[in-house]
Structure 1
Amino acid sequence: MSHTVPTRLQDTVTLNNGVQMPWFGLGVFKVEEGSEVIDSVKNAIKNGYRSIDTAAIYKNEEGVGQAIAESIREYSVPREDLFITSKVWNADQGFQTTLDAFDLSLKKLGLDYLDLYLVHWPVKGKYKETWKALEQIYKSGKVRAIGVSNFHVHHLEDILADAEVVPAVDQVELHPYLSQVGLRDFARSKGIQIEAWSPLGQGLVLKDPVIEALASKHGKSPAQIVLRWNLQSGIVTIPKSVQESRIIANADIFGFELSAEDMKAIDELNQDRRVGPDPDNFNF
């Protein structure tokens, strides 16, 4: 799967079922319910973002839903131009509990359908049953695409062994210190789109001398260099921010290009270093 590097904020990648997903979006992990999340989402949509990524466990779906409703009304953005993602939490995994969790997320968001619904973590002994529930939701038409999050290659292989629907997306921790090349290659071979959460490694990679040098070379911020690397690597990315100026700056990555040498320099920063939990070893 070769990809065309996006040239503007609304550009999309075609998922394995034909659905168009924006390359770039806003994540709202750890963004507080209420005015903080409402303002964050509205500022993003007002400034051209079309993809918003939340999850049941973020406990801000109602605020996200309110922001979507207000944006549709105030900025005349049609619902079908937006791409809304949520995820089933670990405690709700299993077949019927996942169906119920999806309905609750939809209700909290105040939406008739979701664009993407993900299994948040590969809970041992449960995620395959959870996947069956996602397949049923998908067939019902209440979600346009389904996928997983935090799945290693062996988790994907396990799902694919008897899945009726191949996951459209695997959303994982991915940044220059954890570039996930093996997973990216495997996903590409199966038509699964990789999406990065924590694309800036919670700020960790922004102080890297290589990133700082490239930022000064291109007259961009370290964050813009890393986010541009994501896009040129064929990775969908969803940085979070609650400040409008940062939301705008994060998306200002379409007017320049990293050279092959620049890309190689960033690729070589990988240390397999996580800022979040290892999907093979988490206890929540």
Structure 2
Amino acid sequence: MLDKTGREYVRAKMPMIGFGTFQVSTEQDIYATIDAALSAGYRFIDSAQDPKYNNEHHIGKVLKELLPKYNLKREEIFITTKLRVENQGYEKAEKSILESLQKLQTDYVDLLLIHFPGCNRNDPNDPRNPVARRESWEVLEKLYKEKKLRSIGVSNYQISHLEELLGHATVLPAVNQCEYHPYYYTKDLVKYCESKDIHFQAYSSFGSECKKEALLSDPKIAALAKKYGTNVTNFLLAWALSQGISVLPRSRNPAHVKENLKALDIKVSPEDIEAARADNQTKFLWDPTKF
């Protein structure tokens, strides 16, 4: 499909709730959690090249074993992975994405995201950052046109990064995956993505590690969850889902994996979406705003 400027945009069919695998790194844990996820009804798995995931190879092996168990075909599963910060730039990006396909034991991934707008974690003023972003996107477009990537997008991009990307992209980003929850409510970014037909996807729906306990024990959130007859974690997922934002909960507990899907049945009112917001917004640790 083409947008009104003649650029192509992707419309892949992606479930609204996916199974996150951040820090689920052993083959044993990947097998147990994906087994539980597929049994519960998940059809969307989110991974990344980053060492804090370190599980693409396990996911590829485990899916070869588990898909037949549930009478599923590869095309019934939506797989996302992400280009590592250190792999940005034309040659490294292409090489690493092809390696990801090998690790995942698949001819294509459904969604490939640039994980972070900078190629240097420590220096936001590094002049290589915008060059690496552009070269990496050129690689994603190339592999998209070769059908190795069914859709392409970005993660942690702010409005300035998206405007830069839209200035040269011939294929529009399908997704922008960012941290989003009542303690970090980036309404302007969400509205910008909506205006550009970019789907906004939330990670860390229960809060980043430094704020997780505070969010899960927030009395205001607990009261709202009680109002909707649910628990805090399902309310937080429903809070995003009710805004048209997809989510990627992660759990090693099979009962929690199944429980999280109930969030799809909860509709939070616009008034309660606003009511859940924390007055003092807290930025996440991996801050992309200056790159």
The two structures have a TM-score, normalised by structure 2, of 0.88
Find the aligned partners of 1:197 and 1:170 in 2 and give their Cα distance.
Answer: 10
Are 2:241 and 1:231 aligned?
Answer: yes
Tell me whether 202-211 or 171-180 shows the greater mean CA deviation. Answer: 202-211
Q: Specify the code of the residue in structure 2 equivalent to 1:19.
A: A
Q: Specify the code of the residue in structure 1 equivalent to 2:22.
A: F
Are 2:184 and 1:184 aligned?
Answer: no
Aligned residue for 2:153? 147
Find the aligned partners of 2:114 and 2:247 in 1 and give their Cα distance.
Answer: 18
The equivalences for 1:31-70 within 5 A come to 31-57=24-50, 58-70=53-65
Shift of 1:218: 2.2
Shift of the 23–162 alpha-carbon distance from structure 1 to 2, 3 Å rule, reads same
* Percent pairwise identity: 36
The equivalences for 1:137-176 within 5 A come to 137-176=143-182
Q: Secondary structure at the match of 1:97?
A: helix
Shift of 1:134: 0.4
Find the aligned partners of 1:183 and 1:47 in 2 and give their Cα distance.
Answer: 32
Instruction: Summarize deviations over 1:25-75 as a string: whole Å, max 9, x none.
Output: 111011122111221112111110011000011111011112222221111
Asked if 2 retains the 8 angstrom alpha-carbon contact of 1:196 and 1:235, the reply is: yes
Shift of 1:260: 3.4
Asked if 1 retains the 8 angstrom alpha-carbon contact of 2:16 and 2:246, the reply is: yes
Aligned residue for 1:11? none
Q: Secondary structure at the match of 2:153?
A: strand
The two structures have a TM-score, normalised by structure 1, of 0.90
Q: Secondary structure at the match of 1:96?
A: helix
The equivalences for 1:25-104 within 5 A come to 25-57=18-50, 58-104=53-99
Are 2:203 and 1:197 aligned?
Answer: yes
Aligned residue for 1:17? 10
Q: Specify the code of the residue in structure 2 equivalent to 1:200.
A: F
Shift of 1:206: 1.4
Q: Secondary structure at the match of 2:101?
A: helix
Aligned residue for 2:137? 131
Q: Secondary structure at the match of 1:170?
A: strand
Find the aligned partners of 2:280 and 2:14 in 1 and give their Cα distance.
Answer: 29
Q: Specify the code of the residue in structure 2 equivalent to 1:181.
A: K
Aligned match of 2:281 in 264, 272, 276? Answer: 272
Shift of 1:272: 2.8
Matched pairs, number: 267
Q: Secondary structure at the match of 2:265?
A: coil
Find the aligned partners of 1:246 and 1:119 in 2 and give their Cα distance.
Answer: 29
Find the aligned partners of 2:279 and 2:99 in 1 and give their Cα distance.
Answer: 39
Q: Specify the code of the residue in structure 2 equivalent to 1:143.
A: L
In structure 2, the gaps of 5 or more residues are 1-7, 119-128
In structure 1, the gaps of 5 or more residues are 1-14
Shift of the 16–200 alpha-carbon distance from structure 1 to 2, 3 Å rule, reads farther
**Once superposed, which parts of structure 1, at least 4 consecutive aligned residues long, lie more than 6 Å away?**
none
The equivalences for 1:100-111 within 5 A come to 100-111=95-106
Aligned residue for 1:219? 229
Q: Specify the code of the residue in structure 2 equivalent to 1:110.
A: Q
